[in-house]
Amino acid sequence: MGRKTLLDGLLKGDLELKGLVFNIQRFSLHDGPGIRTTVFLKGCPLRCKWCSNPESINAHPEIMTFDVRCIGCGKCAQICPQKAITLKDGSRTVEWDKCNLCLECAKVCPAGGIEQVGKHMEVEEVVAEVEKDSIFYVNSGGGATFSGGEPLRQWEFVKEAAQLCKEKGIQTALDTSGYAPWEVMEQVLKHIDLVLYDIKQLDPLRHKEGTGVSNELILENAARTAARVRTWLRIPLIPGFNSSRAFIEEVAQLAKRLGVEKVSLLPYHEWGVAKYARLGRAYPNEGAKPLPEELVEELQETAQSRVLQVAVGA
């Protein structure tokens, strides 16, 4: 995706100040300093093969199924206009290729066996939820974190929400891939205290293989961001993709050049794998396994040898 196309996609049309939110997670301890409330927004231009939040990728509401909750009442099958849901012997099946995401099944399910993922919320509504935990932010040095997906896909909403948080004395953080036009990013950063900046690969070809996009814009924006805002680099450690000592040495050198405060190593996990089936999708990184603890420790030591503040999992 070219830069002009990316910018057009973000700026085109009349943008309503509503965000498409798929989760507001309270008491987050790994999305910045202190106790935080993380606002997760839908929509992402990257297609990372290991994504642990696949429900965040599409910029529209969708459904997730939870078979363990299904009580076999058949209401979803009765209301589905596409006849995409069938019930046999008390077991519900969804033919995903027929589903048009009308969401009617989620509305009538009495047990949460089918849920809608993604809700349009106003800026004031989201900030009101964040504000409920203000006492925890004051005592811990925490605040609000805007994450995704890629929160900059909804940049106007994030800008307004972050600005309102700041007006209420709430510290703000942005968890981003940096894959957005600088014209957009610059507007949001005016209201951000800390950026959690994802770096997945430094080699452009490898980056595109793993995420679907080049890293040229990402690296350019990383330098611009670190020069303006307190920044932490976050490195998802993906087996066979970026889990080598040589890569971590390169990232440590980059971190020193940028003058970032901290590097966070995020070991690969399988917590999100089950979500793909619930969305009717295949997991793109099938067969990947978590890295051995001793390797993660070795990579942490490698980064620390560059005199950096390095954390694992936070």
Q: Which residue has the tokens 């006849």?
A: 83
The pTM score is 0.92
Same domain, residue pair 67 and 167: no
Same domain (yes/no): 48, 78: no
Are residue 105 and residue 162 in the same domain, yes or no?
no
| Residue 75, domain CATH | 3.30.70.20
Tokens read off for 236: 């998802």
Same domain? 135 vs 274? yes
Task: Note whether 244 and 161 are same-domain residues.
Answer: yes
Residues 159 and 272 reside in one and the same domain: yes
Which of 291, 249, 231 lies closest to 266, judged by CA? 291
pLDDT of 10 reads 52
CATH number at residue 287: 3.20.20.70
Residue type, 68: V
Whether residues 213 and 233 fall in one domain: yes
Range of the domain at 94: 62-117
Q: What total number of domains does the chain contain?
A: 2
Answer yes or no: do 131 and 41 share one domain: yes
Amino acid 11: pLDDT: 40
110 and 217 inside one domain: no
Q: Based on the fold, state whether residues 186 and 100 are members of the same structural domain.
A: no
pLDDT tens sequence for the chain (314 residues): 554 555 544 543 334 589 999 999 999 999 999 999 999 999 999 999 999 999 999 999 999 999 999 999 999 999 999 999 999 888 999 999 999 999 999 999 999 999 999 999 999 999 999 999 999 999 999 999 999 999 999 999 999 999 999 999 999 999 999 999 999 999 999 999 999 999 999 999 999 999 999 999 999 999 999 999 999 999 999 999 999 999 999 999 999 999 999 999 999 999 899 999 999 999 999 989 999 999 999 999 999 988 789 999 87
Q: List the beta bridge partners of residue 36.
A: 28, 143
Regarding whether 151 and 283 lie in a shared domain, the answer is yes
Residue where a domain terminates, one of 117, 141, 158: 117
d(CA 33, CA 242): 25
> From the CB of residue 79, how many other CB atoms can be counted at a distance below 10 Å?
14
Whether residue 33 is found in the same domain as residue 171 = yes
Of the candidates 302, 46, 76, the one whose C-alpha atom is nearest the C-alpha of residue 176 is: 46
Answer yes or no: are the C-beta atoms of 218 and 178 closer than 8 Å.
yes
Last residue of a domain, one of 87, 102, 117: 117
Closest to 206 (Cα-Cα) out of 218, 195, 197, 196: 218
